[in-house]
């Protein structure tokens, strides 16, 4: 194999691996020197010149001229008679520089050079990928789904680098096929078994934050600040925003005209319900906004316990709690307060409350004949039932103790 074909191979390697020119030259020189050191015991007296642009390289050896018969090391010294074959003017003590033909070292040396270079480039490539993605933590990347496993999927970026998205970092309703394009945020970069491990996520609050930056220019420009994001991926999210410019409505800017800006984000997140809230340092108002769309009648704060008691009309309670308790759970995480919800009822509501507990189509509630039995002893409201003990109700009605306890449990749950 001649010099030019050898360097051509390295040039191709450089292009494929996207390694910069200076680094490639350094790696090539180090690889040559490694082979020279093994062959001659040292590489200190060699000059390695590499020209990737021309596809060529040269190796020059420097040796001291010594009198004939006094050569102790052929690599470091040359006899005067041998030196004068190169140039008749050489004298003892001068330095002779002659070119070394690498391909004359034999096939084994060339293979050793290739193996050394391959190992160095592979190590360098891994290091480049690690540091490149280390700087991309918190950024959105787009890749192609390459492999799907039970606990994770393998995604390839535009350069063919491998990214991992664990099941825990996927939105529950995500369903991918091989070849699908997927967007996610880089959340972790590590080294595992000497290979870069890049973890991407679609469930991280940072992913939602970056999506808002892409869709809302005011956030990207810093005119609107995202104060906090809480999510239950694929279900619901709450995002608190603030604007320091009174002329900008942060909520309106994030939602867009007729929801134009937020719709794209919702689709990306598999129809995740997103509540955008105007941030405020007024804790009571902040909690009230966090519990939207419920309308709150009163709030009691317990600062030491970071707890809030929220009082609402009966018809507002379900709105405050939300489907599966998601609304109140996210409101608590957003505000940092444990929120307890209580019904606020007037006397007229209490008078008919017991009637409202009649068993409905879902099977929940109290049998009508039980309500009639309670009304027969003057208990027309839920509160009037709860004011009596189980023993009193057993004595005054024909109801079993177990039935009375069940009724009181249902009523207590509603009042709590």
**pLDDT tens, position by position, 243-291:** 988 899 999 999 999 899 999 999 999 999 999 999 999 999 999 999 9
What integer is the mean pLDDT of 22-27? 79
pLDDT tops 60 at residue 384: yes
pLDDT band, very low/low/confident/very high, at 118 (cuts 50, 70, 90): confident
Interatomic CA distance for residues 387 and 391, integer angstroms: 12
Could you name the CATH architecture of 3-123? Answer: 2-Layer Sandwich (3.30)
**Which helix (H) or strand (E) is 191 found in, with range?**
strand 181-192
Element (H, E) at 329: helix 326-335
Most confident of 76-80, 102-106, 329-333: 329-333
How is domain 215-279 classified at the CATH fold level? GMP Synthetase; Chain A, domain 3 (3.30.300)
DSSP label at 23? H
| Mean of pLDDT values over 403-407 | 90
Q: Which of 15-29, 272-286, 314-328, 341-355 has the lowest mean pLDDT?
A: 341-355
HSE-up of residue 57 (Cα within 13 Å, Cβ side): 28
For 176, which DSSP code? -
Q: Is residue 353's pLDDT more than 80?
A: no
Residue 350: band (very low, low, confident or very high) from pLDDT cuts 50, 70, 90 = very low
Predicted confidence at residue 12, as pLDDT, reads 57
Handedness of CA 356, 359, 363, 366 (dihedral sign): positive
CB 168 within 8 A of CB 153: no
Q: Which fold has domain 141-201?
A: OB fold (Dihydrolipoamide Acetyltransferase, E2P) (2.40.50)
- Looking at residue 115, its pLDDT comes to 79
Task: Supply the pLDDT for residue 348.
Answer: 47
Best CA proximity match to 290, nearest among 275, 309, 312, 311: 275
Q: Which two tokens stand for residue 52?
A: 């990737």
| pLDDT for position 229 | 97
φ/ψ bin of 222: left (φ > 0), alpha (ψ from -120 to 50), beta (otherwise): left
Residue 216 pLDDT level (bands cut at 50, 70, 90): very high
* 293: preceding bond cis by omega (within 30 degrees): yes
């Amino acid at each position: 194999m001649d010099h030019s074909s050898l360097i051509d191979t390295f040039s191709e390697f450089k292009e494929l691996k996207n390694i910069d020119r200076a680094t490639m030259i350094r790696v090539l020189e180090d690889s040559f020197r490694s082979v020279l050191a093994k062959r001659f015991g040292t590489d200190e007296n060699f000059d390695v010149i590499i020209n990737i642009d021309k596809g060529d390289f040269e190796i020059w050896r420097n040796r001291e001229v010594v009198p004939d018969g006094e050569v102790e090391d052929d690599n470091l010294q040359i006899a005067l008679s041998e030196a004068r074959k190169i140039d008749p003017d050489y004298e003892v003590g001068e330095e002779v520089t002659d070119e070394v033909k690498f391909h004359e070292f034999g096939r084994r040396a060339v293979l050793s050079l290739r193996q050394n270079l391959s190992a160095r480039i592979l190590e360098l490539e891994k290091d480049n990928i690690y540091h490149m993605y280390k700087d991309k933590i918190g950024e959105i990347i787009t890749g192609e789904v390459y492999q799907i496993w039970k606990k994770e999927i393998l995604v390839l970026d535009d350069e063919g680098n491998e990214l991992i998205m664990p099941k825990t970092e996927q939105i529950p309703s995500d369903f991918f096929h091989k070849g699908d394009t997927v967007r996610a945020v880089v959340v972790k970069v590590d080294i595992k078994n000497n290979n870069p491990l890049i973890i991407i996520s679609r469930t991280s609050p940072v992913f939602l934050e970056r999506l808002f930056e892409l869709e809302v220019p005011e956030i990207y420009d810093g005119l609107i600040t995202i104060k906090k994001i809480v999510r239950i991926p694929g279900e619901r999210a709450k995002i608190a925003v603030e604007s320091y410019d009174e002329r900008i409505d942060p909520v309106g800017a994030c939602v867009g005209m007729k929801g134009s800006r937020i719709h794209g984000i919702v689709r990306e997140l598999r129809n995740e319900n997103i509540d955008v809230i105007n941030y405020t340092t007024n804790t009571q108002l902040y909690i009230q906004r966090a519990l939207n769309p419920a309308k709150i009648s009163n709030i009691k704060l317990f600062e030491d316990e970071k707890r809030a008691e929220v009082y609402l009309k009966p018809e507002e309670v379900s709105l405050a709690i939300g489907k599966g308790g998601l609304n109140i759970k996210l409101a608590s995480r957003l505000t940092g307060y444990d929120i307890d919800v209580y019904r606020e009822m007037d006397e007229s509501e209490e008078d008919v409350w017991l009637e409202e507990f009649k068993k409905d189509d879902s099977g929940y509630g109290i049998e009508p004949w039980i309500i009639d039995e309670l009304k027969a002893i003057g208990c027309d409201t839920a509160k009037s039932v709860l004011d009596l003990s189980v023993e009193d109700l057993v004595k005054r009605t024909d109801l079993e103790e177990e039935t009375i306890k069940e009724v009181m449990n249902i009523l207590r749950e509603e009042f709590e």
